[in-house]
Amino acid sequence: MRRAIFPGSFDPITLGHQDIIERSIPLFDEIIIAVGTNSDKKYMFTLEQRIKFIKETFAKKKSISIASYQGLTIEFCKKSKADFIIRGLRNPADFEFEKAIAHTNRSLSGIETVFLLTAAKTSYISSSIVREIITNKGDYTKLVPDAVRF
C-alpha cells in the first residue's frame, strides 16, 4: 500500500492545497492530511475548525483521512506507516526550502518527499494571504474551498 502524508497547518485550507491533494489521489492508495499544531504559533482558526474545513472539502474522497499531530513530520509518518510526504511547490523559493527538508527527512528516516507543482491558476494563493484578506474584511472566497466560506 502506498500511503502518503500531506502535512501543513491549513490555516485555512486553500484552493492550492485542494489542487495538490486532488492531483495526488491517483498516485497513492491513501493520503493522510496531517494538520500540524505548534503551541508557539498563533492560528486564525482553531484546530477543530481547520479539521472541519478539510473534512467537508474531501467528504466524498474515500482514500483521504485527516489527523492532527505535533512534533516532527517524519515521526508522524512512522507512526502512520507512511513512506511518502507530499509537498506542493509554488515558486523557486519554495523548492529551495522544501529540498533541504526533504533531504533531511530522507537521511533521517528513508521517507521520500514527492513534489507537485501547483497549478498556474492557484500558484499565487497562500494561507497567509487568505488570512490577511479575511482580517481586512476582503473577499477571500475565490481562494478557498466552499467549506471555508462563511
The answer to whether 127 is a known catalytic residue is yes
The answer to whether 41 is a known catalytic residue is yes
> Structural domain of residue 134, as residue ranges?
3-148
DSSP string, 121-138: GGTT--HHHHHHHHHTT-
The answer to whether 128 is a known catalytic residue is no
Query: CB of 22 within 8 A of CB of 51?
Result: no
Total count of domains within the chain: 1
Q: Which of 41, 42, 137, 142 is catalytic?
A: 41
The answer to whether 52 is a known catalytic residue is no
pLDDT digits 0-9 by tens, 15-45:
999 999 999 999 999 999 999 998 788 999 9
pLDDT digits 0-9 by tens, 64-121:
999 999 999 999 999 999 999 999 999 888 899 999 999 999 999 999 999 999 999 9
Q: What is the CATH number for 59? A: 3.40.50.620
Q: Which of 90, 99, 106, 131 is catalytic?
A: 90
